């Protein structure tokens, strides 16, 4: 699911695939953004070391204190800190991930790691929206505020974490259990959101629970020329029909109610099929995998009972197991009485930003932050922008990027100046 002045200004990139400079000087924040995009942190072998060194360089330039936390070999969290004037107060956490998803380069107009900028100012690169933009926007907003001589009561921490794009199991999920995370004394966190094609800005106060379910069907084997009874394939057919009938009912519910977003319904997709050894042999075992994303409004226990019923109805020898089963359904308060939300929404109101509150349709590292008791909002300031996260030709316009810095330069003072809460004395 990002300001101030540099000693050196970087050149703009001319349209085309070469990435060579032929145009006028560009805003130094954009130059920095494009430099980050050119660091290849794509799975399955992200260059985390290069990304951390790049971010550490910026942190040093900004006068931020920095430390790294080794979670496991090759998996490092960078923490940059802008101390507040009252370190006893809970801090503001600005989180972003350094990894990006793979690309199918043949479908891209420009090479996905050259950060080409076209004549309209659109910057094409993997990570342009998800979420290297936000990382640089955080840093450049802090640059602007520090240049203006600002200081705030609450400490601001920036965390740059690995592994988010493959589940965060070696990243944020581990990090939130570490003493280094607890030492951050987090009060409120910002993390990634999504682009919005409309004038509104999407704000995510919760996430779906991702469940990956594998259903195994056992049945009678035999020769492919015979009508074998009680086959694994017949049972699988019933299982698939049950799951996909539910999928269609949720799709129709979303389609028929304009007040609903994708985050309000359960999405379900068949993603894997396994079974068979030969064309002329009826297999004794087949398996099917489903990716299910469940909103926090659904009763998780009741839904698992439904899954169990679908399997029972398919016949004997049908079992299921979970490869991922997130049970956390925490959501962040968006009540005006909540001091964090009041600060966030108030700063947006000053900028006349139209906010659309949503449940995130997929999953981000915010779920791990909420799970350990901290309010977190997913927000990427990209409106009037097509949603291209994980898609071909992912891009972000430089003016949208620069406006995002302006927005964070308003948000951070509001959040870091929230008065002491009752729990803080």
pTM value? 0.88
Q: Is 67 helix (H, G, I), strand (E, B) or coil?
A: strand
pLDDT in tens, 32-59: 999 999 999 999 999 999 999 999 999 9
Q: What is the pLDDT of residue 362?
A: 87
Tokens representing 263 are 């985050």
Q: What is the pLDDT of residue 2?
A: 28
- Does the pLDDT at position 21 exceed 70? no
Token code pair at residue 148 = 């203006």
- SS3 state at 263: helix
CA–centroid distance for 122 within its chain: 22
Residue 394 annotated in ligand binding: no
The tokens for 410 are 């308003």
Model confidence band, residue 131 (pLDDT cutoffs 50, 70, 90): very high
Q: In the predicted model, what is the mean pLDDT of residues 177-190?
A: 98
State whether residue 202 is helix, strand or coil: strand
Q: Where are the domains of the chain?
A: 11-193+364-424, 209-325
Candidate list 99, 114, 140, 173, residue with the active-site label: 99
pLDDT at 12: 34
As a whole number, mean pLDDT of residues 90-114 equals: 97
* Residue of 140, 164, 191, 398 marked catalytic: 164
Mean pLDDT (the chain) is 93
What is the structure's pLDDT at 425?
A: 66
- Give the H or E element holding residue 273: strand 267-275
For residue 159, the model assigns a pLDDT of: 98
pLDDT digits (tens, 9 = 90+) for 87-98: 999 999 999 999
What residue has token string 């101390």? Answer: 83
What's the whole-number mean pLDDT along residues 202-227? 96
CA separation for the pair 396, 129 (Å, rounded) = 6
61 annotated as belonging to a binding site for a ligand? no
Which CATH number among 3.90.1200.10, 3.40.630.10, 3.30.300.30, 3.40.50.150 corresponds to the domain 11-193+364-424?
A: 3.40.630.10
Q: What is the mean pLDDT of residues 303-321?
A: 98
Q: What is the pLDDT of residue 22?
A: 38
The verdict on whether residue 88 carries a ligand-binding annotation is no
Q: Per-residue DSSP letters for 364-402?
A: -THHHHHHTT--EEE----BSS---TTSTT-EEEHHHHH
243-280 b/e (C-beta count within 10 Å ≥ 16 → b): beebbeebeeebeeeeeebbbbbbbbeeeeeeeeeeee
What is the H or E stretch that residue 243 is in?
helix 232-256
pLDDT at residue 11 is higher than 80: no
- Phi and psi angles of residue 405, each rounded to the nearest 5 degrees, phi first: -65, -45
Q: CA nearest 331: which of 341, 322, 321?
A: 341
Helices 398-416 and 132-147 meet at what angle, rounded to 10?
60
Burial (CB count <10 Å: 0-12, 13-18, 19+), residue 136: buried
Is 237 marked as binding a ligand?
no
Q: Are 2 and 11 in contact, with CB atoms under 8 Å apart?
A: no
pLDDT at 3 over 90: no
pLDDT > 80? residue 209: yes
Residue 257 counted as an annotated binding residue: no
Alpha-carbon distance of 6 to 66, in angstroms, equals: 20
Q: Whose CA is closest to 310, among 325, 326, 282, 288? A: 288
The mean pLDDT value for 19-42 works out to 84
pLDDT band at 4 (very low <50, low <70, confident <90, very high): very low
CA distance 402 to 400: 6
Angstrom distance (rounded) from CA 315 to CA 404: 55
Residue 164 annotated to the active site: yes
Question: Which numeric CATH code is attached to 209-325?
Answer: 3.30.70.360
The answer to whether residues 416 and 92 touch, using CB atoms and an 8 Å cutoff, is yes
47 classed as catalytic: no
Average pLDDT for 115-119: 97
For residues 336 and 349, give the distance between their C-alpha atoms in angstroms, rounded to a whole number.
13
Q: What band does 351 get if pLDDT is binned at 50, 70 and 90?
A: very high
């Amino acid at each position: 699911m990002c300001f101030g002045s540099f000693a050196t200004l970087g050149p703009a990139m001319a349209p085309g695939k070469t990435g060579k400079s032929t145009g006028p000087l560009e805003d130094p924040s954009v130059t920095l953004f494009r430099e980050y995009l050119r660091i290849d942190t794509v799975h399955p072998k992200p260059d985390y070391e290069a990304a951390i060194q790049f971010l550490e360089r910026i942190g040093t330039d900004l006068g931020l204190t920095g430390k790294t936390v080794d979670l496991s070999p090759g998996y490092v969290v960078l923490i940059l800190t802008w101390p507040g004037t009252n370190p006893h107060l809970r801090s503001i956490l600005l989180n972003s991930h350094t990894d990006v998803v793979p690309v199918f380069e043949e479908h891209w107009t420009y090479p996905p790691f050259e950060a080409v900028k076209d004549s309209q100012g659109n910057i094409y690169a993997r990570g342009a929206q998800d979420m290297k933009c936000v990382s640089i926007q955080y840093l450049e907003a802090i640059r602007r505020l520090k240049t203006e001589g600002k200081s705030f009561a609450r400490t601001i921490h920036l965390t740059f974490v690995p592994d988010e794009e493959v589940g965060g199991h070696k990243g944020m999920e581990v990090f939130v259990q570490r003493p280094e995370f607890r030492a951050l004394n987090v009060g409120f966190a910002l993390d990634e959101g999504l682009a919005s094609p409309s004038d509104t800005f999407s704000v995510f106060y919760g996430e779906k629970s991702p469940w990956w379910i594998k259903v195994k069907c056992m049945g009678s084997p035999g020769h492919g020329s015979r009508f074998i009874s009680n086959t694994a394939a017949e049972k699988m057919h019933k299982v698939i029909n049950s799951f996909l009938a539910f999928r269609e009912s949720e799709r129709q519910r979303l389609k028929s109610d304009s007040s609903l977003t994708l985050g309000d319904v359960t999405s379900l997709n068949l993603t894997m099929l396994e079974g068979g050894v030969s064309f002329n042999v009826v297999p004794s075992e087949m398996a099917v995998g489903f990716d299910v994303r469940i909103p926090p409004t659904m009763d998780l226990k009741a839904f698992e009972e439904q899954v169990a019923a679908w399997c029972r109805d398919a016949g004997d020898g049908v079992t299921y197991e979970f490869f991922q089963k997130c049970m956390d359904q925490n959501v962040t308060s968006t009540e005006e009485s909540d001091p964090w939300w009041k600060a966030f929404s108030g700063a947006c109101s000053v900028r006349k930003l139209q906010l659309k509150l949503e449940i995130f349709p997929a999953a981000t590292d915010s779920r791990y932050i909420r799970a350990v008791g901290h309010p977190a909002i997913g927000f990427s300031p990209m409106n009037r922008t097509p949603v291209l996260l994980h898609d071909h030709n992912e891009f972000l316009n430089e003016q949208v990027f620069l406006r995002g810095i302006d927005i964070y330069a308003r948000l951070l003072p509001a959040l870091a100046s929230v008065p002491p809460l009752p729990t803080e004395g």
